[in-house]
Copies of this chain bind each other. A is one copy, B any other.
Amino acid sequence: MNIGEIARRAGVSRSTVSYTLSGKRPVSDATRKRIQDVIDELGYRPNAAARALKEGRTRTIGLVIPPASRRLTHMQLGFVASVVEAAARADLDVLLSPSGGDHDRSFERLLSGGRVDGVILMEIRLEDSRVRRLQNAKLPFVGIGHTARAHEMCWIDVDYTTVINRCVHHLADLGHTRIALVNRSVELMATGYGPGHRARDGFVAALAQRGIQGVDLECGDDAAAGLECVTRLLQDHPDVTAVATINEAALPGIQRGLEEAGLAVPRDFSITGVVGRTWAEEFRPPLTAADVPADDIGTQAMDLLLERMVDPATPLRNILLAPPVSLRGSTGPVRSARPDETVRRTPS
C-alpha cells in the first residue's frame, strides 16, 4: 500500500495526495475529504525510508549509551528514559547504540549512511575520539558530559568538581577531618572518565582549602565492590569518619560494609555524594547529597540537540549544573572517638 494506491482509489494524482498530507499547496475541500477518507479507511502511512530518502532527513536521533556489558547506573537510566521521552514529544525516533570504544561497529553504523539526524552522546571521556568522528560526520550532536576541551562541543553536564568540593566542605563543617572519596571503577578512571577525574579534582582542592586529609579510592560499580571497598577503607584508614561518593551503584555495598563494621549512619559515620534525585530519598537514612536532576538533563540535552538540528550554526552552548547539597539524614557531626575504635586499631 503506497501513495499511488491512495491516489488511484481517490481518483487523483500522487502529488495531490502528498499535498493534502503536507498542506504545502492548497487542495479543495472536496478533494481533500475524498483523499482523507481513503487514507483513514486503509490506514495508510507514508513509507519512512522513501520520505527520508527524498527529504534528506530521517526524523531519528541516535543515543549512544555505555556498552551493554556495563550495567547502567540509575542516573544513566534516568538520562536514557528522559531523552527517549523528550524525543517522542518532538516526534522523533531514538536509535540506540551501545558503544564504549571508538571503532565500534554499532557507533559507525549510526554515523554512516545518514541513519540519524543528530546524536546524543553519553559517558564521555576527557579525550574521546567519538567527538572527532561526530564532528567529521557533520552531524549535530550534544553530550551528556564533556571532554577536556569544553568549547569544542555542545553539552550539558554536572559540575562534579564543584559538587564534590561542596560535599567535602559540608563534611568539614561538621568537624570531619579524615574523609574518603569513593570514585568510579579503576577501568573507567583509566580510560579518562570525566566525572571521575573532575570529582577527584574537587576533592583534592577542598582538602587543601580546609587543610584536612583524605583518601582517594576507586571502586567498582556494584554493591559487592562497594562492600569490599569500604571494608578495606575501614581497615587501612581507621581514622576516616566520612565518605563522599559519585558511585551510586556502590552505595548499598558501602552501607552494608558500615553496618557489618557496627558503624551507625550518621552517628558514627557520615555519607554524602552525588546521586540521581530519586535515589537519595530511597536511602536509609535518606542521603545528604547533591541531587542530580536526571530527567531535566535528558530533556535539556534533547532541547539543545533540537536547536542544533534546526540550525547547525547555532553557537555551541554548554550547560553546567551544580545542584546544591540537600541536607538529609546521612551526615552528622563527627564523634571524637568511635565506640570500638581501640579494638579496630589493634590489628593494624
Contacts and interface: CB of A to CB of B under 8 A. Distances in A.
A65 to B, nearest CB: 8
Contacts of A93: 95-97, 109-110, 115
10 contacts: A47-B53, A48-B113, A49-B52, A50-B53, A53-B53, A93-B109, A93-B115, A94-B96, A224-B281, A252-B282
Contacts of A112: 43, 45
Given A49-B114, A60-B95, A84-B96, 5 more contacts: A43-B112, A46-B113, A48-B114, A93-B97, A96-B96
Contact of A88 (B63, B98, B114): B98
A310 interface: no
Chain A interface bracket (under 10, 10 to 19, 20 to 34, 35 or more):
35 or more
Interface in A213-259: 222-224, 252-253, 256
Contact of A282 (B53, B85, B115, B222): B222
A114 B222 CA distance: 40
B85 A77 contact: no
A15 to B, nearest CB: 19
A263 to B, nearest CB: 15
B81 A47 contact: no
A88 B88 CA distance: 23
Contact of A45 (B49, B58, B68, B113): B113
Contacts of A253: 282
Contact of A94 (B67, B81, B95, B282): B95
Given A58-B49, A93-B115, A282-B223, A98 B77 contact: no
A284 interface: yes
A98 B71 contact: no
Nearest to A115: B48
Given A50-B53, A282-B223, A81 B85 contact: no
A105 interface: yes
Contacts of A223: 282
